[in-house]
Amino acid sequence: VGTWGPAIIGHADDDVLKALQDQMAKGTSFGAPSALENELAKMVIDAVPSVDMVRFTNSGTEACMGMIRLVRAYTKREKVIKFEGCYHGHADAFLVQAGSGVATLGLPDSPGVPAGATSGTLCAPYNDLAAVEKLLQENEVAAVILEPVVGNSGFIKPVEGFLQGLRELTTKYGALLVFDEVMTGFRISYGGAQEYFGVTPDVTTMGKVIGGGLPVGAYGGRKEIMEMVAPAGPMYQAGTLSGNPLAMTAGIKTMEKLKGKEAYAQLDRTTEKLINGILSAARDAGHAVCGGHISGMFGFFFCEGPVNSFADATKSDTEKFAKWHRAMLERGIYLAPSQYEAGFMSLAHTDEDVERTIAAAKEVFATL
């Protein structure tokens, strides 16, 4: 689980803890910009292709709240397109076909949210360019927003040409392209999904890894877009604890350890070993499964597949998954407790950890 993604170097890295202890002696928050904020901002800008300027927040949800206000302010349009099963935090405008927790718990999309709050949110199936173009043709759209690799409907990759197609369509129709990289940022590569796939959005939201396990979020993009944000521009967004020294310290130390190819080569190797071992164990026991990974992010479904959208994901045998998860937990293996969640590996996981997990999976699959 890796605290749902942030713990990419482990839950209690010695260097991160030492840096946090040193910073706590100086102060935890000042309600003002700090040199640490500038240092982490420069690291983000250097790493992420789309980011010329960045604004820190306290969570991925806050980052997406700031982002949606920004794209509407910049384009002077109100409607946005999101994808079925993609989650962008619990802000009202995004709780439409949001996957993940609402899907697992069987909740309606947006109880307590006024109809007007979601009237500007349009939905398309993930990996369906034709559906996106139809919405763009019929509406004045501010932005197309997506998880470039879905983690909140389970682990779903973009099919070949999908991300590039979105880049071309948004440019054609005057909309912005937004990658929500709260999960994928600094996880599937140091520069996120946009570096991995070679497709550059206009705006990016981030979180999780860049806080090193402390509450953090960020949104960034091209300079002319980000200059809409106060105090440079008229679009207001602020937060008392945004960019606080503790979160910045943990983020800096974490990102220092991720620089270079060695960290991601290790993540890819151990994650591939884990997911291939789980899939093989399931198939050997006669279960229909499909799945995969990119670097330290992975997932599988109890169905034949392929799974290219949330609708495909819902064909999974969730009762069988629940039994499998419970039995794994009884054997000391804690995985995401939903068929609709991706999994995350860390640099702290060893080959022994992976082998023990695969052995437990073999035991459990044989009992289902």
Answer yes or no: 312 catalytic: no
Active-site pick, 74, 79, 87, 128: 87
Before 231, cis peptide (omega within 30)? yes
Cα distance between residue 104 and residue 75, in whole Å: 35
Choosing from 128, 180, 268, 312, the catalytic residue is 180
Q: What is the rounded distance in angstroms from the CA atom of residue 287 to the CA atom of residue 278?
A: 11
Nearest residue to 58 (alpha-carbon basis) of 190, 238, 200, 186: 238
Q: From CA 121, how far away is CA 333, in angstroms rounded?
A: 38
Q: Give catalytic status of residue 317 as yes or no.
A: no
Q: Which of these, 144, 156, 222, 221, lies nearest to 183 by C-alpha position?
A: 156
Distance separating alpha carbons of residues 181 and 148, to the nearest angstrom:
7
126 neighbors 146 (Cβ within 8 angstroms): yes
Joined together, the tokens standing for residue 170 give 């948004």
Looking at 208, 253, 273, 320, which residue is catalytic?
208
Beta bridge pairs of residue 229: 235
Asked about 87 being catalytic, the answer comes back as yes
Residue 349 to residue 346: CA distance in whole angstroms? 6
Query: Would you give the distance in Å from CA 201 to the centre of its chain?
Result: 15
- CA of residue 53 relative to chain centroid, distance: 20
Query: How many residues in the chain?
Result: 368
β-bridge pairing 297-301 and 290-294: antiparallel
Pairing of strands 203-207, 176-180: parallel
Pairing of strands 343-344, 297-301: antiparallel
Task: State residue 291 phi and psi, 5-degree precision.
Answer: 175, -175
Active site residues: 87, 180, 208
